[in-house]
């Protein structure tokens, strides 16, 4: 690599000039970077990543870089191996917190993957980079489906603007998104703290799962021990979306359990296991209308270096009574 960091600094200053504020832009934050500015920086980051050249993006010399929950010197990991981006990305932004979220598809030579990115922008410079790259190898755990990066088609409504009349305040959007995780953690058939539109579809690593609410009401995810370290770090008020990080833990001690219709089924988790995820929720009229997530298998009870207030990990004895 031959990075030119000075070019990146100049670019950042130009991007965040007052002339960037146009019709429909979210009001600029204290550091002067509005929605258009943040999303332009997101585009610059993707270009630098694909070119293996940090100098063409406004990346701070002191940037923190984390990929798949491991912090390392920048640049490293897929910054060295990415060879191609496929299709159009979904870019989210939150001028209030200076966060950018990106969902895209990449190739590493002949290895396809679904990539979620979080960037923190301060003073026009990228100070935090977080990647979650899901490939067949990174999923591990029990066999988990992963979509075809060439055939994947994102629902266009995720990227659409939502009128303010159909978009709830920030705090309520976060509450509704967290209700999804609360329902996932306590999946006995009850919907907790959120609502779903009838056609709400979830996409995980390029695989689509329709009828989200029906799946939750069946109780099929009862094997989840906890959904912890939830951090709803980005609220895109332009698209009415919330982006979050979290971990889903499975103790691996559950064998058979019953769905809400009385059907007996068997847990697919046969050993201690965790999923790590970056997941986003589209919210309209107080309902979740779409979900996109990238997740990987991690070490059991894995943490993220970016988790500020980690949850205390406790066993749920009532769910897993002692074996006799």
| 98-108: pLDDT as tens digits | 999 999 999 99
In this model, does residue 28 exceed pLDDT 90? no
Pair 107, 84: CB distance under 8 Å? yes
Model confidence band, residue 19 (pLDDT cutoffs 50, 70, 90): very low
User: pLDDT value at position 110?
Assistant: 96
Q: Is the dihedral of CA 85, 63, 96, 132 positive or negative?
A: positive
CA 241, CA 233: separation in Å to the nearest integer?
Answer: 11
DSSP bridge pairs for 154: none
User: pLDDT value at position 313?
Assistant: 87
In this model, does residue 16 exceed pLDDT 50? no
Calculate the dihedral angle through the C-alpha atoms of 283, 288, 291, 296, rounding to the nearest 10 degrees.
110
Model confidence band, residue 319 (pLDDT cutoffs 50, 70, 90): low
Between the alpha carbon of residue 61 and those of residues 54, 64, 176, 271, the distances in Å are 10, 9, 37, 41
Break the chain into its structural domains and give their ranges.
35-298
Omega before 75 within 30 of 0, i.e. cis? yes
- Please, what CATH class does the domain formed by 35-298 belong to? alpha beta
Mean pLDDT of 227-246: 98
Pair 44, 57: CB distance under 8 Å? yes
Mean pLDDT of 191-207: 97
Model confidence band, residue 138 (pLDDT cutoffs 50, 70, 90): confident
Between the alpha carbon of residue 316 and those of residues 35, 187, 212, 313, the distances in Å are 42, 14, 25, 10
Tokens coding 301:
């009870």
In this model, does residue 58 exceed pLDDT 60? yes
Query: At 226, phi and psi to the nearest 5?
Result: -160, 155
DSSP bridge pairs for 252: none
Tokens coding 268:
């697919």
Q: Can you give the three-state secondary structure of the chain, one letter per residue? A: CCCCHHHHHHHHHHHCCHHHCCCCCCCCCCCCCCHHHHHHHHHHHHHHHHHCCHHHCCEEEEEEEEECCEEECCCCCHHHHCCEEEEEEEEEEECCCCEEEEEEEEEECCEEEEEEEEEEEECCEEEEEEEEEECHHHHCCCCCCCCCCCCCCCCHHHHCCCCHHHCCCHHHHHHHHHHHHHHHHCCCCCCCCCCEEEEEEEEECCEEECCHHHHHHHCCCCCCCEEEEEEEEEEECCCCEEEEEEEEEECCCCCEEECCCCCEEECCCCCCEEEEEEEEEEEECCEEEEEEEEEEEECCCCCCCCCCCCCCCCCCCCCCCCCC
* pTM value > 0.85: yes
């Amino acid at each position: 690599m031959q990075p030119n960091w000075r070019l990146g600094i100049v670019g950042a200053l130009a991007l965040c000039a007052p002339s960037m504020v146009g019709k429909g832009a979210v009001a600029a934050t204290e550091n002067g970077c509005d929605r258009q500015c943040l999303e332009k920086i997101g585009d610059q980051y993707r270009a630098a990543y694909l070119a293996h050249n940090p100098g063409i993006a406004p990346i701070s010399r002191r940037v923190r870089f984390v990929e798949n929950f491991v912090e390392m010197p920048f640049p490293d990991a897929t910054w060295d191996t990415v060879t191609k981006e496929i299709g159009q990305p979904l870019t989210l932004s939150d001028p209030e917190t200076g966060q950018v979220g990106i969902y895209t598809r990449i190739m590493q030579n002949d290895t396809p993957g679904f990539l979620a990115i979080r960037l923190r922008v301060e003073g026009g410079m990228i100070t935090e980079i977080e990647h979650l790259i899901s490939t067949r190898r990174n999923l591990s755990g029990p066999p988990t489906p992963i979509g075809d990066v060439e055939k994947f088609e994102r629902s266009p409504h995720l990227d659409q603007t939502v009128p303010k009349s159909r978009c709830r305040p920030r705090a309520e959007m976060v509450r509704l998104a967290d209700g999804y995780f609360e329902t996932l953690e306590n999946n006995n058939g009850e919907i907790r703290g959120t609502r779903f539109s009838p056609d709400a579809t979830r996409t995980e690593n390029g695989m689509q799962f329709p009828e989200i609410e029906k799946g939750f009401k069946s109780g099929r995810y009862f094997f989840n021990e906890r959904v912890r370290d939830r951090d709803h770090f980005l609220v895109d008020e332009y698209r009415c979306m919330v982006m979050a990080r979290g971990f889903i833990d499975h103790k691996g001690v559950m064998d058979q359990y019953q769905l809400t219709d009385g059907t007996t089924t068997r847990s697919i988790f046969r050993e201690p296991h965790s999923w790590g995820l970056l997941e986003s929720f589209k919210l309209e009229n107080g309902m979740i209308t779409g979900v996109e997530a990238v997740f990987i298998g991690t070490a059991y009870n894995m943490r993220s270096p970016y988790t500020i207030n980690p949850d205390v990990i406790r066993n749920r004895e009532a769910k897993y009574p002692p074996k006799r």
